[in-house]
Amino acid sequence: MIIILIRCFMTQIAAALFNWDAVEARSDLERFFLVRDNLPDGDLIAALEAKRGLGRDDYPVIPMWNAIIAGVVFQHESIELLQRELSRNPSLLQACGFNVLPLQKKPVAQLVKNELTGRMDVVWPQTEAPYYAVPNSWNFSRFLNNLIAIETAQGLVSQMLIDLREQLMVVLPDFGQHMGYDGKAIDSHSTGQVNNKSGLFSDPDADWGHHETAGVNTKTGTPWKKVKSWFGYGLHLIADTHYEIPVAFHLTPASHSEQVELRVMLDELFEQTPELAERCADFSADRGLDCAETKAKLWDESGIRPLIDTRALWRSEKQDPDYDPSQPITRPLYLDRADTIVYTEKGTVHCVCLVTGIQRDLAFQGFEADRDTLKYRCPAAAYGLDCQGKAQCHAAGQVNPGDYGRIVRIDITEQNRRIFVPTPHGSPSWKLGYARRSALERINNRIDNSFCFEKHFIRGQAKMKTRMGLALAVMMAMALGHVKAGRIEQMRSLVQPIPLQKMG
């Protein structure tokens, strides 16, 4: 008998020590605590309390707010899924601040006629199983409506992102040094079809967006085009491309111009956080944002090097019968004289020998910031090559350089700002900085999959903006918490369990 009791006792201990479900639950709760404790939500909670006023307080503001954050952290697609999780997980219910004591409805006696005696008997129904007091869907709906109203009127969800950004700049001295932009399609939970009776969309704030990608097959010379259409919104996101953490966002109807919105965001961002403009060294974006005004704005106003891919817009040369699609189009750099210097639409600079017709890349010598000039040197002199047309080249350029070879300086303020930038397209520095832009694609993937924006039930711009703000705030708060705890290697992770040995 004693042996049986010992075995039972050891079995219970083993179950407690090796219950992997409990380990996972604790890890999940620690991630929730990490976000909860690092969200600068004091003003928002105060506004929610004021919004509720003297109304019913069956479910207090703080537990309701914590539950909403838990739904984002644990990647629930809907409020119904969050309710289900709360009803089956008393640990989460307690972590949010709700009452965790199970409730049980008091049975109510019923009078039932006895068919044998003809008298009315008192019948007590079977006692119902205990349950946890979880807010109903309408409780969450009212709370979310208040949250959306506060964000629309006061922007307190957006303010959390500003506060988190500035806190990340404190704990990470190089946060914001490398930034980038990307636009993303966000579908509305609407078909995009007009209702025959009302003549309106089921989401009147959304509209149709079209993203066109075109090019030429370099092997066959055949032009191609791809058009993506969606009904909903456009997410305009600026992020740190080194740490892969959001910095700022705007949400607009899908048809809104990315180029216009990016310039608005840059003005707003650097006005809110001037130190970020001083800290940022380069800014990357894909070719859809290729614009002389944007590139000039970044460098002239903030000294930020634009690393934005260049589109092929030159058309006239492609009508020439001798046009070879496998060769880049070149145009003369100096239109006022018959010089040997030409350039491509990507901004690469070449010289064409007047004797042999050989085209060579000029040797890039760097960007002279005090002059706003790109400096290039004769490739023959720089690399020790034999150039038969050296004399003719010097005569065409009206220079007498000597043994050092000809120097070509390009003032970017006097040339096409879309093509000529401080860091030339295709240079090693440009490639390295532009490659970091892939961080935005990974952030967008987390938005789609981890935060459920690929499958959601959201209609309306105000609701979509609030929900997006919460997702990005959770991402930033989790990163901030990991950095403060000395786990910088985990700052990008949204689901990785926190090591138990490192918990304070």
Q: What is the pLDDT along the chain (504 residues), one digit of tens a residue?
A: 444 444 444 444 443 433 333 444 456 789 999 999 999 999 999 999 999 887 777 789 999 999 999 999 999 988 999 999 998 888 898 899 887 766 556 667 677 777 777 787 767 677 666 556 788 889 899 999 999 999 999 999 999 999 999 999 999 999 999 999 999 999 999 888 877 777 778 888 999 998 877 766 767 767 777 888 999 999 999 999 999 999 999 999 999 999 999 999 999 999 999 999 999 999 999 999 999 999 999 999 999 999 999 988 898 888 888 888 878 899 999 888 778 999 999 999 999 999 998 999 999 999 999 999 999 999 999 999 988 988 889 988 888 888 888 999 999 999 999 999 999 999 999 999 999 999 999 999 999 999 999 888 899 999 999 999 999 999 999 999 999 999 999 998 887 777 765 444
Element (H, E) at 445: helix 438-449
The pair of three-digit structure tokens given for residue 368, joined into one six-digit string: 């002279």
Say which amino acid occupies 93.
L
pLDDT at res. 129: 61
The pair of three-digit structure tokens given for residue 454, joined into one six-digit string: 């690929």
Q: Can you point out the beta strands (E) in 241-358?
A: 245-253, 282-285, 305-308, 330-332, 341-344, 349-352
Phi, psi of 113 (to 5 degrees): -70, 130
How far, in Å, CA of 124 to CA of 263, rounded?
A: 71
Say which amino acid occupies 139.
N
Contact yes or no for 209/234 (Cβ under 8 A): yes
Q: Where are the alpha helices (DSSP H) in 135-215?
A: 137-154, 156-171
Say which amino acid occupies 263.
R
The pair of three-digit structure tokens given for residue 394, joined into one six-digit string: 């010097």
Residue pointed to by tokens 């010379």: 221
Q: Is 456 exposed, middle or buried (0-12, 13-18, 19+ CB in 10 A)?
A: middle
Select from 222, 253, 254, 249 the least CA-distant residue to 238. 249
How far, in Å, CA of 310 to CA of 298, rounded?
A: 16
The residue ranges of every structural domain in the chain are: 326-424
Contact yes or no for 130/104 (Cβ under 8 A): yes
How far, in Å, CA of 282 to CA of 242, rounded?
A: 11
How far, in Å, CA of 147 to CA of 47, rounded?
A: 9
The pair of three-digit structure tokens given for residue 444, joined into one six-digit string: 């967008």
pLDDT at res. 326: 79
How far, in Å, CA of 303 to CA of 28, rounded?
A: 43
Classify the phi-psi angles of 49: left when phi > 0, otherwise alpha if psi is within -120 to 50, otherwise beta: alpha
Is residue 136 classed as helix, strand or coil in its secondary structure?
A: coil
Q: Which residues make Cβ contacts (< 8 Å) with residue 143, sequence separation at least 6? A: 48, 61, 64, 65, 68, 135
Select from 348, 327, 357 the least CA-distant residue to 410. 348
Select from 63, 51, 46 the least CA-distant residue to 140. 63
pLDDT at res. 121: 75
Q: Which residues make Cβ contacts (< 8 Å) with residue 293, sequence separation at least 6? A: 259, 263, 417
Strand partners, 237: 182, 249
The pair of three-digit structure tokens given for residue 501, joined into one six-digit string: 């040995």
pLDDT at res. 104: 54
The pair of three-digit structure tokens given for residue 55, joined into one six-digit string: 């109304």
How far, in Å, CA of 92 to CA of 29, rounded?
A: 7
Q: Can you point out the beta strands (E) in 188-309?
A: 207-216, 223-240, 245-253, 282-285, 305-308
CA distances from 217 to 212, 346, 347 (A): 16, 17, 21
How far, in Å, CA of 432 to CA of 441, rounded?
A: 16
Contact yes or no for 430/424 (Cβ under 8 A): yes
Select from 471, 453, 463 the least CA-distant residue to 206. 463
Phi, psi of 184 (to 5 degrees): -135, 140
Q: Is 81 exposed, middle or buried (0-12, 13-18, 19+ CB in 10 A)?
A: middle
How far, in Å, CA of 280 to CA of 175, rounded?
A: 9
The pair of three-digit structure tokens given for residue 419, joined into one six-digit string: 């093509």
pLDDT at res. 501: 52
The pTM of the full predicted model, rounded to 2 decimals, is 0.85
Size of the chain in residues: 504
β-pair type (178-187, 282-285): parallel
Q: Which residues make Cβ contacts (< 8 Å) with residue 157, sequence separation at least 6? A: 44, 147, 150, 151, 466, 469, 470, 473
Say which amino acid occupies 359.
Q
